[in-house]
Structure 1
Amino acid sequence: MNGTMFDSLREQVRGQVITAGDADYDAARAVHNGMIDKRPAAVVRVSQVADVIASVNFARDNSLGLAIRGGGHSGPGFGTADDALVIDFTNTRGVRVDPASKTARTEAGATWADFNHATHPFGLATTGGIVGSTGVSGLTLGGGIGYLDRKYGLSCDNLLSADVVTADGKFLTASESENEDLFWALRGGGGNFGVVTSLEFRLHPVDMVHAGIIIYPVEHAETVAKFYREQLAASPGELGAFLAFHQGPPVPFLPEEWHGKPVCIVVGMWTGDPAEGQARWQPFLDAAPVAGSMVGPMPYAALNSAFDGMYPKGLLAYWKAAFLTELNDGAINAHLDYGSRVPSVQTAVHIYPIDGAVHQVGATDTAFPNRNARFSPVIACHWEDPRDSEANIAWVREYAAALQPYSESAGYINFMDGDDLTKVEENYGPNYKRLREIKAKYDPQNLFHVNQNITPA
Structure 2
Amino acid sequence: MYISTVLGGLSVLSGATLAYASSAVEPSNFNVTAALEDLGIDVAAIPALKSFNGAQARSTDKACAVACSSLSFIFNSKVSAQNTTGYSNFTDSFWSVQQEEVQPHCIFRPTKNTDVSAAVLLSRLTGCEFAARSGGHAAFTGASSSPGGISIWFKDMNAVTLNKDKSVASIEPGNNWLSVYSALQPYGLATIGGRAASIGVGGFVLGGGISYHSNLYGWSCDNVESFEVVAASGLILTVSETSYPDLYWALRGGGNNFGLVTKYNLYTIPAPEMYGGSRTFIQTYFPQAINAFINVANNASVDPHAQQYIAFLRTQGTNLASAELTYTQNVSNPQIFKQYRSIPAVADTSSPKTLVEYVKYLETENPFHLREVYWPVAVKLDEKFSNWVVDTFYSMISQVEDVPGAQPVIIFQAITEPMLKKMSDFGGNALGLDASNGAVQLMHISCWWSNESDDATIYAFVNSFWETVLAEAKSQGIFNEFVYMNYASLYQDPISGYGATNKALLQKIAKKYDPQAVYQTLQPGYFKLDGAPATL
TM over 0.5: yes
Letter in 2 for 1:46: P
Judge conservation of contact 1:350–1:379 (CA < 8 Å) in 2.
yes
Which whole-Å CA distance do the structure 1 matches of 2:407 and 2:184 have between them?
29
Letter in 2 for 1:32: W
TM-score normalised by the chain length of structure 1: 0.89
Q: Verify: 1:118 aligned to 2:183, yes or no.
A: yes
Which whole-Å CA distance do the structure 2 matches of 1:383 and 1:307 have between them?
20
In the alignment, what sits opposite 1:310? 365
In the alignment, what sits opposite 2:410? 349
CA deviation map 1:344-394 (0-9, x unaligned): 686543222221432214568211222345221121212234454343323
Q: Alignment partner of 2:279: what SS?
A: strand
Letter in 2 for 1:178: S
Q: Cα RMSD over matched residues?
A: 2.6
Judge conservation of contact 1:99–1:122 (CA < 8 Å) in 2.
no
Equivalences, count: 443
Match runs of 1:11-410 below 5 Å: 11-13=73-75, 16-20=78-82, 22-29=84-91, 31-36=94-99, 37-77=101-141, 78-98=143-163, 100-235=165-300, 236-247=303-314, 261-272=318-329, 274-275=330-331, 277-286=333-342, 288-338=343-393, 341=397, 347-361=408-422, 365-372=428-435, 373-404=439-470, 405-406=472-473, 407-410=479-482
Which whole-Å CA distance do the structure 1 matches of 2:514 and 2:319 have between them?
47
Change (3 A) 1:418 1:116: same
CA deviation map 1:290-340 (0-9, x unaligned): 111123321122223322133233210112112222134123311233158
Which whole-Å CA distance do the structure 1 matches of 2:110 and 2:499 have between them?
31
CA deviation map 1:108-147 (0-9, x unaligned): 1111111111122222223223222111110100011122
Judge conservation of contact 1:80–1:86 (CA < 8 Å) in 2.
yes
Which whole-Å CA distance do the structure 1 matches of 2:394 and 2:200 have between them?
27
Judge conservation of contact 2:117–2:235 (CA < 8 Å) in 1.
yes
Greater mean deviation of Cα atoms: 141-150 or 337-346: 337-346
Letter in 1 for 2:138: S
Match of 1:10 among 72, 75, 96: 72
CA-CA distance at 1:43 after TM superposition? 1.6
Q: Alignment partner of 2:115: what SS?
A: helix
Change (3 A) 1:151 1:360: same
Greater mean deviation of Cα atoms: 438-447 or 190-199: 438-447
Change (3 A) 1:140 1:153: same
Judge conservation of contact 1:210–1:297 (CA < 8 Å) in 2.
yes
Q: Alignment partner of 1:130: what SS?
A: coil
Q: Alignment partner of 2:459: what SS?
A: helix
Letter in 2 for 1:392: I
Match of 1:446 among 510, 513, 517: 517
Letter in 1 for 2:357: A
CA-CA distance at 1:99 after TM superposition? 7.8
Which whole-Å CA distance do the structure 2 matches of 1:413 and 1:15 have between them?
34
Q: Alignment partner of 1:281: what SS?
A: helix
Judge conservation of contact 1:15–1:51 (CA < 8 Å) in 2.
no
Greater mean deviation of Cα atoms: 353-362 or 175-184: 353-362
Which whole-Å CA distance do the structure 1 matches of 2:188 and 2:96 have between them?
33
Which whole-Å CA distance do the structure 2 matches of 1:428 and 1:124 have between them?
36
Judge conservation of contact 1:112–1:129 (CA < 8 Å) in 2.
yes
Letter in 2 for 1:44: F
CA-CA distance at 1:14 after TM superposition? 6.0
Letter in 2 for 1:55: A
Letter in 2 for 1:300: L
CA deviation map 1:220-251 (0-9, x unaligned): 21221122212331342111111212356xxx
Change (3 A) 1:425 1:13: same
Change (3 A) 1:50 1:410: same
In the alignment, what sits opposite 2:501? 430
Change (3 A) 1:247 1:48: farther
In the alignment, what sits opposite 2:492? 420
Q: Alignment partner of 1:418: what SS?
A: coil
Q: Alignment partner of 2:429: what SS?
A: coil
Judge conservation of contact 2:282–2:345 (CA < 8 Å) in 1.
yes
Which whole-Å CA distance do the structure 2 matches of 1:298 and 1:277 have between them?
14
Unaligned ranges ≥5, structure 2: 1-60, 474-478, 532-536
Which whole-Å CA distance do the structure 2 matches of 1:143 and 1:389 have between them?
28
In the alignment, what sits opposite 2:483? 411
Unaligned ranges ≥5, structure 1: 249-258
Change (3 A) 1:361 1:429: farther
Runs of 4+ in 1 over 6 A off after TM superposition: none
Judge conservation of contact 2:212–2:328 (CA < 8 Å) in 1.
no
Which whole-Å CA distance do the structure 2 matches of 1:325 and 1:371 have between them?
12
Which whole-Å CA distance do the structure 2 matches of 1:15 and 1:374 have between them?
48
Which whole-Å CA distance do the structure 2 matches of 1:57 and 1:393 have between them?
37
Greater mean deviation of Cα atoms: 90-99 or 403-412: 90-99
Letter in 2 for 1:417: S
Judge conservation of contact 1:211–1:268 (CA < 8 Å) in 2.
yes
Which whole-Å CA distance do the structure 1 matches of 2:466 and 2:77 have between them?
42
Which whole-Å CA distance do the structure 2 matches of 1:307 and 1:116 have between them?
14
Judge conservation of contact 2:406–2:450 (CA < 8 Å) in 1.
no
